[in-house]
Amino acid sequence: MKDVKDTQDRKSPDNIKKEFESLKSERGTWEYHWQELADFILPRKNSITYRGTSGEKKGTQLLDNTAMQSNELLAGALHGLLTNPSSLFFGLTSGDPTIDSKDEVKKWFQNSTRKTHAILNNSNFQTEVHELYLDLGCFGTAPMLIEEDSRLFVRFKAFSISNIFIKEDARGFVNEVFSDAKMRVEQLLELFGEKAIPENVMKKYKAGDTTSEYTVIHCVYPLSYEEEYSNKVFKFGSKYILADEKNHQLKSDNYHEFPYVVPRWSKISGEKYGRSPGMVALPEAKTVNKMTETMIKAAQKMVDPPIMVPDDGFILPLKTGPGGFNYYRKGSQDRIEPVFNKEIRVDFGYEVMKDHRSRIREAFYVDQLQLNNGPQMTATEVVQRTEEKMRLLGPMLGRMQSEFLQPLIDRVFGILLRRNIFDEIPEELAGKYVRVQYSSTIAKMQRAGELNDIMKTMQAVEPFFNVDKSVFDNFNTDGAVKFIANILGFPHEALRTDREREEIRAARQEAQQQAIQQQEQQQQVDTMSKMVPAMSAMRPQQ
């Protein structure tokens, strides 16, 4: 336990505050970038460098919402493709096909997967994960905390990027998270209890001070960096400190798994925080916003143009409203005319803006996530185009699996396993590490190419089958059918087990043999019945 003690000393309240201040100073450049992203893409979260007041208007300087809508579309598409609430987006495996093929193991995996999925849907996961996808498309980094809950089993909280500070391990994975929050005494009492709160804070509260807010810093850190400690029960520690009160420690706790998931859209080597589609679209979003302002002014000039009036021809004041009368001096030949003698090409401005808006949508993959069906497209063409679009999203899916889906399911599965939610574990899985395999919509679409390879192979072999039917002895047809069913997401419980299949085949074979025997017996009876009259006719008459 020496490593744990060393870690606890290293993570004393004073050291946590120092690390927090260092991380906060370190990411100053990022915060200005995030503020600008939020202003143009996610206005309701634009309190990063600017701390506004509660209830104030957001996005008042935003004149074009193309980037904001595109980010919403991307978040909605990711929600449906990766964590669809109406279908199972993950499964379980031991990593050993021999073990996974056993009926008891299959049944346990199926039941455990469905229970986990049901608990996720009954928690606040679906609401919080949508916020995560919005932050991911805008900022490129989207932290979410996963905690145990006495009523819902698990509870999720998507954090704003402005309140999260991260550190990486040597492999580039986030393994340490600092967060800060402003809390009133009522909130501190609810979370930590009166005994954990300093006396002077409680005195102010009991004296009637209910509006003061205090800065609470939460730090989650690995208990040890040593490999030998990886088999211990608790792998991560947690501390809450009251920074405003001499770094007073409010609570200390431990975690079996890392409680945060911190997916990053893409990441440059040497940087900790992610890069996003919003960063690609930001120049275009700023350009379109400025162009919209110019086009509004141009449209106003077209509808209500400035006019030219001779200084000695008309009697002021000039009336430009409907039905207005303007008087001019007798003998004057001058007329009231608009300043613009030539037509203003407002339509040209809109054409240019259309091109910039298209680039914004491309940056958020809207053209790939939305299939534009043409009038001549066949079902096969639709499938092929969908597969091509999903392959382009492959790099994104790989990072989402390693930094979001894998730690998410590992954390939730570990909580439910310790709460004895699952059925009794089969003997075959004793001591085995259960892994997650993904069956989300995007994963199925990307695997559809394997199905096409199988079908093309069968079509190519068909002519040989017409010549020699034994050619299909080269294929494990039972395995191919199950492989296809797995690719298409066919429910495992709707497939017969190997034992049931063999029993049906044995019964069918036995029935066929009985039918053959009955047919042979009937033929023998028929033969005998024909032979008896013949033999009787051959007997000599007495």
Rounded Cα gap, residues 503 and 505, in angstroms: 5
The secondary structure element, H or E, covering residue 334 is none
Helix axes 277-303, 28-40, angle to 10 degrees: 40
Query: Do 272 and 167 touch, CB atoms closer than 8 A?
Result: yes
Domain boundaries, the chain: 281-391
**Least confident piece of the model among 187-191, 311-315, 468-472, 503-507:** 311-315
Whether the pLDDT of residue 230 is over 50: the answer is no
pLDDT value for 197: 92
Q: For Cα atoms 155, 444, 153, give the angle at the middle one, nearest 5 degrees.
A: 15
Rounded Cα gap, residues 13 and 214, in angstroms: 16
Whether the pLDDT of residue 20 is over 80: the answer is yes
pLDDT digits over 252-276, tens only? 999 999 999 999 999 988 899 999 9
Arithmetic mean of pLDDT, 25-44: 92
User: Of 376, 375, 441, 433, whose CA–CA distance to 405 is shortest?
Assistant: 441
Whether the pLDDT of residue 345 is over 90: the answer is no
Place of tokens 């509870």: 155
Model pTM score:
0.79
Concatenating the DSSP letter of every residue in 125-187 gives HHHHHHHHHHHHHHHSB--EEEEEETTTEEEEEEPPGGGEEEEE-TTS-EEEEEEEEEEEHHH
Whether the pLDDT of residue 102 is over 70: the answer is yes
Arithmetic mean of pLDDT, 333-342: 67
Report which of residues 84 and 343 the model is more confident about.
84
pLDDT value for 270: 87
pLDDT value for 227: 41
94 confidence band (pLDDT: 50, 70, 90): confident
Arithmetic mean of pLDDT, 133-150: 94
Rounded Cα gap, residues 437 and 129, in angstroms: 20
Arithmetic mean of pLDDT, 440-465: 71
446 confidence band (pLDDT: 50, 70, 90): low
Place of tokens 């040597």: 170
Cα R_g (the chain), whole angstroms: 36
- What percent of the chain stands above pLDDT 70? 82
Arithmetic mean of pLDDT, 17-43: 92
Report which of residues 390 and 156 the model is more confident about.
156
Residues with Cβ within 8 Å of 238's Cβ and at least 6 positions away in sequence, in order, are 218, 219, 220, 221, 251, 252, 253, 254, 255, 259
Whether the pLDDT of residue 75 is over 50: the answer is yes
